[in-house]
C-alpha cells in the first residue's frame, strides 16, 4: 500500500517534470478475460490506449483477483466476469475490487439495455459493471414433434403441467426437476422471494419460502416429477441427452443460450427442428416473469490509474454494435441484440424465422430480482431441493431447508434478512 503510493507520487513527480517536454505516452490497461472474450478485446483500437490482455480460465478468476490484490501487483484494470455474482462478491470490505461506474458511464448507456437486463450490475443504486449477455428462460421446442403429437405449446403453467401429464404417458419429458436454475425459474415465475433485494434498503434480502407463491410452483414440480414429465436428472445428464436425441422431449424451458450451445452441439438437433416460444405465465398473472441462467459482465478495478479509459473500454466492449453482432450469446444491449439476432432469424437450422423475435420479447419479462448476490444460489438449491428431487423426495418438503440455507448464507455474507 505504502510502497505503491510512494511509487505513484514518484511517477507523478517525474511526469510533471518531463511532461511538458515529452509527447503524451500511451497508457496500458491490464485486461483479464476468458478465451471467448479475449478476441473481442483484441479488436479494441483506440489511440493512446494499449491493452495487455491475459486469458484467465473461468474457475480461477476470483482466486486470481484475490491473489493479485493481496500481492498488489498485476491487478487487472478491466475484467470479464463469467458469473454475475462476482460483482457483489468483489465489492465488499474484504475484497474491494470493483470500480463504481455510476459517474463514469452515462445513464443513456444503461437506458439502451433491454428491460431488467442490467439489474445484475446495480448494487444498492450504484452501477458497478455492464452486462455482456442475457440468459432469460423461455420455451425451446421441437417443432416436428409438437406437430406429430397434435399439441399446442402452453402459455400458462397450468397448461404446462397438463401438457407434461399427457406426454409423460408416452415416456416423454419436458425438463428437469433437479436442475438448480430451472428450479429458480419455477419459483421466480410465481413471485417467490428466495433472495429478493428489498427496494430502498441497502444490503437487505427478503427470503421467505413458506408463501403460497413458493408452494404453488414447488407442488407443481413434485407432481410432475412423480408422473415423470420432469426428469429426476439434470439437463446435462447423459440420460436426458438420450431422451432428447430419441425425440422424447417435445419442449423444455431453457435459457437463451440453450439452443446454440446445448441443443445444437450436444443434443445434435437437425435443421428445421428447433423453435422458440414465450415463457409461460400463471393463469392469474397478466404476463410471465422469467429468471436468467447466467450472463457475463464487465467490471473495472477501483484503484486503476485510468478510470476514464477503463469506463470507455467497458462501455465499448459491452455495447459496441459491430463487435456484439458476432457475440456467441444474446447481447444485453438492445441495439446490439437486434443486430445479433439477424443471423438467428436467417439461420435455416431454426424451425422458423421468428425465433429471435420471441427471444427479444421474452427478455422483456426478465425478473427484476435477478441480481448479483454474495450467496451461492446454485449450491444452496443443489444441496436442498435439487438433492430432494434427485433422490425421489419432495421439493415442497425441502423448502424449509432451502430457506434455512439461504438465510444462513445471506447472514454470513453480511446481508440483513427480512421475511
Task: Using CB under 8 A, list all residues that contact another protein.
Answer: 62-63, 66-67, 69-70, 89-90, 92-96, 178-180, 232-234, 236-239, 376, 378-379, 382-383, 386-387, 390-391, 408, 411-413
Shortest distance in whole angstroms from residue 178 CB to another protein: 5
> Which residue from 83, 89, 85, 78 is spatially nearest to 40, judged by alpha carbons?
78
User: Of 84 and 233, which has the nearer Cβ to another protein?
Assistant: 233
What SS3 state is found at 3?
helix
The CA-based dihedral angle spanning residues 257, 318, 300, 40, taken in that order and rounded to the nearest 10 degrees: 80
Shortest distance in whole angstroms from residue 61 CB to another protein: 10
Shortest distance in whole angstroms from residue 234 CB to another protein: 4
User: Of 315 and 405, which has the nearer Cβ to another protein?
Assistant: 405
Q: Contact 99/304 with Cβ under 8 angstroms?
A: yes
Cα 262 to Cα 274: distance, rounded to the nearest angstrom: 12
How does DSSP classify residue 171?
Answer: T
Shortest distance in whole angstroms from residue 229 CB to another protein: 17
Give the pairing of strands 137-142 and 251-255. antiparallel
According to DSSP, the residues that pair with 51 across neighbouring strands are: 29
Q: Contact 234/179 with Cβ under 8 angstroms?
A: yes
Q: Contact 270/338 with Cβ under 8 angstroms?
A: no
User: Of 325 and 394, which has the nearer Cβ to another protein?
Assistant: 394
Shortest distance in whole angstroms from residue 408 CB to another protein: 4
> Which residue from 40, 63, 67 is spatially nearest to 51, judged by alpha carbons?
40
User: Of 69 and 321, which has the nearer Cβ to another protein?
Assistant: 69
Shortest distance in whole angstroms from residue 209 CB to another protein: 17
- The number of residues making up the chain comes to 419
Shortest distance in whole angstroms from residue 404 CB to another protein: 9
Helices of type H across 303-412? 307-319, 321-325, 334-346, 355-363, 377-381, 387-390, 395-412
Shortest distance in whole angstroms from residue 66 CB to another protein: 5
> Which residue from 121, 126, 112, 123 is spatially nearest to 298, judged by alpha carbons?
121
What SS3 state is found at 126?
strand
User: Of 13 and 67, which has the nearer Cβ to another protein?
Assistant: 67
Shortest distance in whole angstroms from residue 249 CB to another protein: 17
How does DSSP classify residue 199?
Answer: T
Q: Contact 129/81 with Cβ under 8 angstroms?
A: yes
User: Of 90 and 184, which has the nearer Cβ to another protein?
Assistant: 90
Q: Contact 167/377 with Cβ under 8 angstroms?
A: no
Shortest distance in whole angstroms from residue 231 CB to another protein: 9
Packing angle of the helix pair 157-168, 212-226 (nearest 10 deg): 10
User: Of 154 and 255, which has the nearer Cβ to another protein?
Assistant: 255
Cα 274 to Cα 264: distance, rounded to the nearest angstrom: 9
Cα 18 to Cα 25: distance, rounded to the nearest angstrom: 11
Q: What is the DSSP string of 27-40?
A: EEEEEEE-TTTHHH
User: Of 364 and 376, which has the nearer Cβ to another protein?
Assistant: 376
Shortest distance in whole angstroms from residue 17 CB to another protein: 33
User: Of 49 and 69, which has the nearer Cβ to another protein?
Assistant: 69
User: Of 333 and 374, which has the nearer Cβ to another protein?
Assistant: 374
User: Of 61 and 105, which has the nearer Cβ to another protein?
Assistant: 61
User: What's the grid cell of residue 32?
Assistant: 483479464
Amino acid at each position: 500500500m505504502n510502497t505503491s503510493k510512494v511509487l505513484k507520487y514518484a511517477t507523478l513527480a517525474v511526469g510533471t517534470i518531463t511532461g511538458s517536454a515529452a509527447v503524451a505516452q500511451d497508457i496500458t490497461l491490464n485486461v483479464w478475460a476468458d478465451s471467448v472474450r479475449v478476441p473481442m478485446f483484441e479488436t479494441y483500437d483506440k489511440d493512446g490506449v494499449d491493452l495487455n490482455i491475459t486469458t484467465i480460465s473461468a474457475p480461477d478468476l476470483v482466486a486470481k483477483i484475490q491473489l493479485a490484490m493481496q500481492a498488489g501487483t498485476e491487478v487487472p484494470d478491466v475484467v470479464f466476469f463469467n458469473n454475475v455474482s462476482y460483482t457483489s462478491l468483489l465489492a465488499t470490505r474484504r475484497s474491494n475490487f470493483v470500480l463504481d461506474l455510476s459517474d463514469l458511464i452515462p445513464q443513456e448507456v444503461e437506458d439502451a439495455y433491454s428491460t431488467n437486463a442490467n439489474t445484475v450490475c446495480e448494487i444498492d443504486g450504484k452501477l458497478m459493471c455492464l452486462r455482456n449477455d442475457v440468459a432469460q428462460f423461455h420455451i425451446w421446442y421441437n417443432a416436428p414433434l409438437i406437430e406429430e403429437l397434435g399439441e399446442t405449446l402452453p402459455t400458462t403453467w397450468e397448461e404446462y403441467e397438463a401438457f407434461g401429464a399427457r406426454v409423460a404417458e408416452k415416456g416423454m419429458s419436458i425438463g428437469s426437476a433437479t436442475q438448480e436454475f430451472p428450479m429458480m425459474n419455477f419459483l421466480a415465475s410465481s413471485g417467490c422471494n428466495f433472495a429478493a433485494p428489498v427496494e430502498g434498503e441497502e444490503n437487505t434480502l427478503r427470503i421467505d419460502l413458506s408463501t403460497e407463491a413458493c408452494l404453488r410452483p414447488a407442488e407443481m414440480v413434485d407432481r410432475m416429477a412423480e408422473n415423470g414429465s420432469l426428469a429426476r436428472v439434470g439437463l446435462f445428464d447423459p440420460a436426458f441427452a438420450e431422451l432428447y436425441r430419441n425425440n422424447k422431449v417435445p419442449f423444455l424451458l431453457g435459457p437463451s443460450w440453450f439452443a446454440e450451445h446445448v441443443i445444437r452441439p450436444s443434443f445434435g438437433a437437425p435443421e428445421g427442428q428447433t423453435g422458440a416460444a414465450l415463457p409461460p405465465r400463471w393463469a392469474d398473472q397478466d404476463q410471465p416473469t422469467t429468471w436468467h441462467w447466467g450472463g457475463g459482465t464487465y467490471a473495472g478495478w477501483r484503484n486503476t490509474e485510468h478510470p476514464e479509459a477503463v469506463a470507455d473500454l467497458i462501455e465499448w466492449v459491452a455495447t459496441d454494435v459491430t463487435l456484439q453482432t458476432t457475440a456467441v450469446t444474446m447481447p444485453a444491449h438492445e441495439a446490439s441484440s437486434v443486430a445479433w439476432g439477424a443471423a438467428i432469424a436467417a439461420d435455416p437450422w431454426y424451425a422458423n424465422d421468428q425465433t429471435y423475435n420471441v427471444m427479444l420479447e421474452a427478455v422483456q419479462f426478465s425478473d427484476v430480482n435477478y441480481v448479483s448476490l454474495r450467496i451461492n444460489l446454485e449450491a444452496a438449491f443443489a444441496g436442498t431441493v435439487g438433492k430432494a428431487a434427485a433422490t425421489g423426495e419432495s421439493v415442497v418438503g425441502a423448502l424449509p431447508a432451502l430457506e434455512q440455507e439461504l438465510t444462513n448464507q445471506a447472514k454470513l455474507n453480511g446481508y440483513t434478512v427480512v421475511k
